[in-house]
Chain A
Amino acid sequence: DTGVSQNPRHKITKRGQNVTFRCDPISEHNRLYWYRQTLGQGPEFLTYFQNEAQLEKSRLLSDRFSAERPKGSFSTLEIQRTEQGDSAMYLCASSSSDREKLFFGSGTQLSVL
């Protein structure tokens, strides 16, 4: 499968713990996006990378959230001191250029107990 890959598929954690998710985009895509989706809602934009540069961050991204894309390939999204409100599906997407369609991964489902 040469699509966008996300790991893990599911993550259950206790409140207060830190979690990290990984996204591997389509190899030739230089743009990478993180979205969050809660039950009954559409995806909400979190942050965007062009190569290794983080160019946009949503106000939804509190200081407990940090994302990196160190070599312009895979990306990680870390949530520190998780809260129950962080429970959601975290989606990664990539694209080859501006205004081109986004290719989404299958997501990481986070449950904070």
Chain B
Amino acid sequence: AQRVTQPEKLLSVFKGAPVELKCNYSYSGSPELFWYVQYSRQRLQLLLRHISRESIKGFTADLNKGETSFHLKKPFAQEEDSAMYYCALLHAGAGNMLTFGGGTRLMVKP
């Protein structure tokens, strides 16, 4: 069965420190992974997807099929990065159905 695990419920760092939000998945097919973010009082929105291999707001994520991971990284955290971050796995052949992880709350302290 497909599953997404985010082992940390809360991650607290100081401004300027590196950030790594962990995501591990289990999926029998070829995975397609995303990071969604929810800032305070805002809607859940797409941050980035692995197929785009892009950097958004300084964040990057590399798919590691050997370790079944898709960790989100940023070298220097900013206070405005404070938010809930959700890793999500796409189900091929099931429309655009996503399985989400439980989320990690990132707090960036000044």
Stretch at the interface among A8-16, A18-26, A44-52, A77-85: A44-52
| A90 vs B36: C-alpha distance when bound (angstroms) | 17
Q: Which residues of B contact A42 (CB under 8 A)?
A: 4, 6, 86, 88, 100-103
| A61 vs B90: C-alpha distance when bound (angstroms) | 19
| A39 vs B99: C-alpha distance when bound (angstroms) | 16
| A40 vs B102: C-alpha distance when bound (angstroms) | 7
Count CB-based A-B contacts (< 8 Å): 58
Q: Which residues of B contact A100 (CB under 8 A)?
A: 96
Q: Out of B4, B9, B43, B94, which one reaches A40, CB within 8 Å?
A: B9
Chain B proximity of A37: nearest CB distance (Å): 8
Q: How large is the interface on A (under 10, 10 to 19, 20 to 34, 35 or more residues)?
A: 20 to 34
CB–CB A106/B43 < 8 A:
yes
Known: A40-B102, A44-B100. 13 other contacts (CB 8 A): A3-B43, A40-B9, A41-B102, A42-B102, A43-B98, A48-B97, A56-B94, A99-B32, A101-B49, A102-B98, A103-B45, A104-B44, A104-B45
